[in-house]
């Protein structure tokens, strides 16, 4: 019995020393036009701060590839040459564009990165008090159609077949950046962390005390309350799309800033969609798509991808979820 007691004490002391040998550092800053929070767990503060620097550099690198706001990025050049000629881009940009088109095909166009070409007839700053005309809504999406995005993988080019078209990665770009930063730090031996890209986040490892990360999903109908807490021992990604922060309210009805690319109408019916899965890029694609598809079609879509979990909150506060 005494021997057992000594072994147990030794194990406890060893565990305590192991936990104390890890520290956590957090940095908050603006990247990709959004608020990022980068949390890193490593063996000492110097290593952790250097890891955060590397994550920032990776996120900045991706922004410099895919931003449609910076005039000299590859995506800006693609947009500038719409209806004129194909533009050579990095293989990484080709693959991300293919991922976006895959979601367009899965959802019959409910997801579409060419939505950025839509005329700005909706305002989500509280100033709208009446609907745009039906003709202006239909006209607003005249240059939106993913089927006019032509990818040449052999020559690594993207061509937008119609003049006036544009593409942008606001729907999945931040999730992709979170995934890439996580991969970079994991491969360099960083013990754990969270890359939080304005609510689209990727995690790995554990907290310094060995506990799993706990991620709360906000309940937009109960200020300061969460609809669920997500815990998982393996690495996960969590993304949320919603209308509770940015919307127009007309005649008592809420219209989301997430627009249906097929008809130019804001999505209705769902206030927020959270998707949990192995990568934030795909989770982001699903959460955005479900906001447009609505509850019934969104749930049907997710049944085809059992590796992803979800939590939907309707405009009336009803919670629909499939979570482990």
What pLDDT, in 10s, does the model give residues 137-177?
999 999 999 999 999 999 999 999 999 999 999 989 999 99
pLDDT cut 70: percent of the chain above it: 94
CB 214 within 8 A of CB 231: yes
State yes or no: pLDDT of 10 exceeds 50.
no
Q: pLDDT per residue over 56-75, tens digit each?
A: 999 999 999 999 999 999 99
Mean pLDDT over 104-127 rounds to 95
Calpha distance 238→122 (Å, rounded): 28
118 phi and psi angles, rounded to 5 deg: -65, 140
Confidence of residue 9 (pLDDT cuts 50, 70, 90): very low
Over 90: is that where the pLDDT of 14 sits? Answer: no
Is it the case that residue 122 has pLDDT exceeding 80? yes
Q: What are the two backbone dihedrals, phi and then psi, of residue 151, each rounded to the nearest 5 degrees?
A: -110, 130
End-to-end CA distance of the chain: 40
**Which residue, 217, 110, 198, 97, is CA-closest to 157?**
97
Phi-psi region of 230 (alpha: psi -120 to 50; beta: other; left: phi over 0): beta
List the structure tokens of 305.
């991808």
Find the helix or strand (DSSP H, E) in which 296 lies.
Answer: helix 295-302
Mean pLDDT estimate for the chain: 91
Note the pLDDT of residue 115. 97
Give the residue among 164, 75, 62 at the shortest CA–CA distance from 117: 164
The fraction of the chain above a pLDDT of 90, given in percent, is: 82
Q: Residue 2 is encoded by which pair of tokens?
A: 């005494």
Reported as a pLDDT band with limits 50, 70 and 90, residue 13 is very low
Cα 63 to Cα 68, 93, 176, 288: the distances in Å are 9, 11, 10, 20
Token pair, residue 140, equals 């607003």
| Torsion angle of C-alpha atoms 82, 266, 236, 228, degrees rounded to 10 | 170
**How much is the pTM?**
0.90
Q: Is 99 annotated as a binding residue?
A: no
Confidence at residue 20, expressed as pLDDT on a 0 to 100 scale: 53
| pLDDT classification of 15: cutoffs 50, 70, 90 | very low
Q: Are 199 and 188 in contact (CB under 8 A)?
A: no
Is residue 288 marked as binding? yes
* Domains of the chain (ranges, CATH numbers): 21-66+173-322 (3.10.520.10), 74-136+143-160 (1.10.3980.10)
**How far is CA 263 from each of CA 140, 141, 198, rounded to the nearest angstrom?**
9, 7, 28
Q: Does the pLDDT value for residue 112 go beyond 90?
A: yes
E strands within 205-300? 214-218, 226-231, 237-242, 247-250, 253-256, 270-277
pLDDT tens digits, one per residue of 243-277: 888 888 888 888 889 999 999 999 989 999 999 99
Instruction: Report the alpha-carbon distance of residue 202 to residue 211 in Å, rounded.
Output: 16
The answer to whether the beta carbons of residues 239 and 200 sit under 8 Å apart is yes
pLDDT, average across residues 272-287: 97
Q: Given this model, what pLDDT does residue 12 score?
A: 41
Segment among 77-91, 115-129, 300-314 with least mean pLDDT: 115-129
């Amino acid at each position: 019995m005494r021997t057992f007691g000594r072994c147990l004490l030794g194990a406890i002391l060893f565990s305590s020393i192991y936990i104390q040998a890890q520290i956590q550092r957090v940095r908050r800053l603006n990247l990709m036009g959004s608020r990022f929070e980068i949390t890193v767990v490593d063996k000492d503060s110097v290593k952790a701060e250097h890891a955060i620097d590397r994550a920032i550099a990776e996120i900045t690198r991706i922004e410099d590839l895919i931003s449609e706001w910076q005039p000299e990025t590859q995506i800006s050049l693609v947009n500038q040459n719409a209806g004129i000629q194909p533009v050579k881009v990095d293989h990484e940009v080709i693959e991300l564009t293919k991922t976006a088109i895959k979601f367009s095909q899965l959802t019959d166009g409910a997801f579409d990165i060419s939505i950025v070409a839509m005329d700005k007839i909706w305002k989500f700053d509280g100033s709208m008090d009446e609907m745009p005309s039906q003709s202006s809504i239909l006209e607003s999406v005249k240059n939106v159609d993913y089927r006019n995005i032509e990818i040449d993988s052999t020559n690594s080019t993207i061509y937008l077949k119609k003049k006036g078209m544009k593409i942008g990665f606001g729907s999945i770009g931040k999730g992709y950046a979170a995934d890439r930063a996580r991969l970079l730090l994991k491969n360099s031996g960083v013990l754990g962390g969270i890359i939080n890209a304005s609510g689209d986040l990727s995690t790995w490892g554990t907290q310094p005390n060995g506990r799993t990360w706990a991620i709360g999903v906000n309940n937009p109908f109960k200020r300061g309350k969460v609809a669920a807490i997500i815990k998982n021992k393996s690495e996960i990604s969590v993304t949320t799309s919603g209308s509770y922060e940015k919307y127009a309210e007309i005649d008592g009805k809420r219209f989301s800033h997430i627009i249906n690319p097929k008809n130019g109408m804001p999505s209705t019916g769902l206030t927020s969609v959270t998707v949990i899965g192995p990568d934030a890029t795909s989770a982001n694609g699903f959460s955005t798509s479900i906001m447009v598809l609505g509850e019934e079609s969104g749930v049907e879509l997710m049944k085809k991808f059992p590796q992803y979990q979800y939590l939907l909150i309707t405009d009336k506060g009803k919670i629909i979820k499939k979570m482990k």
